[in-house]
Amino acid sequence: MDRHLEAFLEMLAAERDAARNTREAYRADLEDFAAFAAGRGAALAMADAPLLRAYLASLRPRGLAARSQARRLSALRQFYRFLLREGIRADDPSAGLDSPRPGRKLPKFLSPQEILALLAAAESLPGRAGLTAVAALELLYATGLRVSELLALPPSAITAHEAMILVRGKGGKERMVPLSPIAVAAAERLLAAREKPGRWLFPGRDPRRPMTRQGLALLLKDAALLAGLDPARVSPHVLRHSFATDLLANGADLRSLQTLLGHSAIATTEIYTHLTTERLHAAVARHHPLARRRT
């Protein structure tokens, strides 16, 4: 083992009381870089910034995730700071290196066919559970509301004569959201089934309080099981993503979608363009007669 690396690992144990697994992770990461440096005629302790950049650039093609790349960079930074502090080096070659940015995860969504199956299953749930599940699904998919916005709705938000509802979103910001007649009808059936008026469109077990997020999530997962869907794929937030994805795929513009979703920045809404692009690629791969040719 390189003597400078050995001294660094001893420091981790003595000064930072680092666990054995932590020290082994540092050792493995730094030995990997040492092998890379040796292949280019450089010693671990004497590597310069261009060599570190070349090493970091080599990690992604090797299949390392952004988080693993960031861990390698962290190990390099800790090591060269140690060498600088000990007077072994007069500079820190890792000082100007940028951390790799993790790729942004694309939102999960359900297809229109899966939404229809989910609604049919919700209708088969007994009693008030079925009415609640159907109303929640119709409203979430028709409006793209956040779960907190849905559960905060009062009964007065639903009227047969109004095609819009006023929603109070993040930061107390208000916006108007259109309602479909089908969603209004589902909400009215839920209201008609209650024994006495209350403060919430979706009341909890204690009618003085709204239904909890957990309660609604469990109800939707019951519907998912009946529909033959993986319950892990079904949640109020997935319904919001499904609303946005399908709206954009059918011609809505980003600015309108931003307003409907209550996003403060258009950049947040733009992620749905990546989703629709992926769907187009998948559709071509699945249906184009020449897409499955072998190269």
Task: Answer yes or no: are the C-beta atoms of 150 and 139 closer than 8 Å.
Answer: yes
* Residue 237 known to be catalytic: yes
154 token code pair: 């009062």
Burial label for 101, CB within 10 Å (0-12, 13-18, 19+), is: exposed
User: Which one-letter DSSP state was computed for residue 168?
Assistant: E
| The CA-based dihedral angle spanning residues 85, 88, 93, 98, taken in that order and rounded to the nearest 10 degrees | -40
136 token code pair: 């929640």
DSSP 14-43: HHS---HHHHHHHHHHHHHHHHHHHTTT--
Annotated catalytic residue, options 77, 81, 108, 263: 263
Handedness of CA 99, 3, 15, 80 (dihedral sign): negative
Task: Answer yes or no: are the C-beta atoms of 183 and 165 closer than 8 Å.
Answer: no
- 277 phi, psi to nearest 5 deg: -65, -45
* Residue 175 known to be catalytic: no
- Cα–Cα nearest to 211, from 145, 95, 133: 133
Annotated catalytic residue, options 60, 170, 173, 233: 170
Annotated catalytic residue, options 27, 72, 240, 241: 240
Annotated catalytic residue, options 4, 72, 146, 241: 146
The residues annotated as belonging to the active site are 146, 170, 237, 240, 263, 272
